[in-house]
Amino acid sequence: MLSILLKNGNVIDPSSRFEGKADLLIKNGVIAEIGESLDATADKVIDCEGLCVIPGICDMHVHLRDPGQTHKEDIITGCEAAAAGGVTALACMPNTVPPVDNAETVRYIKEKAKNAKARVYPVGCITKGLKGEELCDYQELRAAGCVAVSDDGRPVKSAVMMAQAMEKAHYAGLKVISHCEDLEIIDGGIINEGKISKQLGVKGMSRLSEDTITARELAIAQDLQMPIHIAHVSTKGSANIIKSNVFVGVMCTCETAPHYLMLTDEMLLSRDADYRMNPPLREEEDVLAMRAAVANGTIDCIVTDHAPHSAEEKADFEKAPNGVVGLETSLAASLTALVHTNTISLAQLVRMMCVNPRTILGIEGGSLAKGELADIAIFDPDEEWTVQPEKLHSKSKNTCFKGMTLKGRVKYTLLGGEIVYTDGE
């Protein structure tokens, strides 16, 4: 394995509270030395002048579509996209075909991921077959390699079953990730319920669907004194519910995605299904509320909910499946929405994208200290680029940032001390 010397980078490592100009020497897949003007030799030297050097991003909410839907994405291509976005670790959601509800499927994912350009951490199902009828064997899933459980893509309809899941998963060492949605309230809605849905003449998805289940999960967590993680928060109401519950000691963490920080449902006026996802794009007041929730610490993580779909599937606005790809745009979009608007500092963003997700899932990495894994993202915080779907590494090109100019570009990604992505190559 080649040794690598990263010279003159702006190193940002919240876990060790270090931020400043420094060199990093990488040997045998780990950080051998860190310091200013290191007197060291290496097989390869990368001049990081003007660039930021951070721990590799951990995206704890990704759909790799593998097994079963590999025409949309697979583990290898999904991790190619991850590497291009500075993501070195990801948690893959279980709504595959078949669902990740048994050890055999978990082992398939882990085996295929051995040759991938990111570390892949499987999330198992809360209920068998995602049907909401019977809990999975959490001890089996944990032993096979799962780090969390979720029925993401569907809610757990029964509060009793969710309570049982939270308790049993906790003692099995698994985080419970809740997809907060009341399907009876949704009742076939496809975009946010409001002025735009009425203008388009399509059925809307009420915020109440997300807010009521968020409140339910937090009530269960408070009663059981068990932790819960709330996925893809998109509404002002849910952000306020989480903030008030955390204030009184409820063990809750949560995430949002860049599109909820930048885009509103007015994008749907184009009748382009690439702007349809679940939860849907909301209104300006929700975007502002989500930015405020990031700034005040209510939101713990920025994730993508990377959800690839083919162009054919996305062609019909009203019948298309929900979801957008996001691994390659997450850092740039977050920099554009949050750092370049002075909403939060760069160090705060790094904590939300690199450190907190790993802490929540209990996985390794997230630090640039001596002896740590050399999983590293190097980026130019000021380089502007226009998102061109055809240039994305994902099999699917359904990005909601297409045609947008973002500020911040990944230049190199290192995984275990090896360069797995170089901009322009």
Kindly give, in sequence order, each residue whose CB lies less than 8 Å from that of residue 277, ignoring residues fewer than 6 positions away.
Answer: 259, 305, 307, 322, 323, 324, 400
pTM of the shown model: 0.98
355-401: pLDDT as tens digits? 999 999 999 999 999 999 999 999 999 999 999 999 999 999 999 99
Q: Look at residues 9, 45, 109 and name the one whose alpha carbon lies nearest to residue 380.
A: 9
What is the rounded average pLDDT of the residues 104-112?
98
Is residue 37 pLDDT above 90, yes or no? Answer: yes
3-class secondary structure, 325: coil
Q: Look at residues 364, 353, 402, 369 and name the one whose alpha carbon lies nearest to residue 82.
A: 353
In which element (H, E) is residue 204 found? strand 204-205
What is the rounded average pLDDT of the residues 275-282?
98
What is the rounded average pLDDT of the residues 152-168?
96
Q: What is the pLDDT of residue 1?
A: 87
Is residue 80 pLDDT above 90, yes or no? Answer: yes
Burial class (CB in 10 A: 0-12, 13-18, 19+), 383: middle
How many residues are given for the chain? 425
3-class secondary structure, 294: helix
Q: What is the pLDDT of residue 124?
A: 98
Q: What is the pLDDT of residue 22?
A: 97
Residue 42: pLDDT band (50, 70, 90) is: very high
Task: Specify the residue for token string 């390659």.
Answer: 328
Burial class (CB in 10 A: 0-12, 13-18, 19+), 410: buried
Contact 138/172 with Cβ under 8 angstroms?
A: yes
12-23: pLDDT as tens digits? 999 999 999 999
Contact 75/112 with Cβ under 8 angstroms?
A: yes
Average pLDDT, the chain: 98
Q: What is the pLDDT of residue 380?
A: 98
Specify the amino acid at residue 266.
E
Contact 397/354 with Cβ under 8 angstroms?
A: no
Q: What percent of the chain has pLDDT over 70?
A: 100
What is the CA angle 243-245-246, rounded to 5?
Answer: 65
Q: What is the pLDDT of residue 98?
A: 98
293-331: pLDDT as tens digits? 999 999 999 999 999 999 999 999 999 999 999 999 999
Catalytic residues: 305
373-382: pLDDT as tens digits? 999 999 999 9
* Domains within the chain, CATH numbers bracketed: 4-53+372-381+403-422 (2.30.40.10), 56-361 (3.20.20.140)
Is residue 65 pLDDT above 90, yes or no? Answer: yes
Q: What is the pLDDT of residue 88?
A: 98
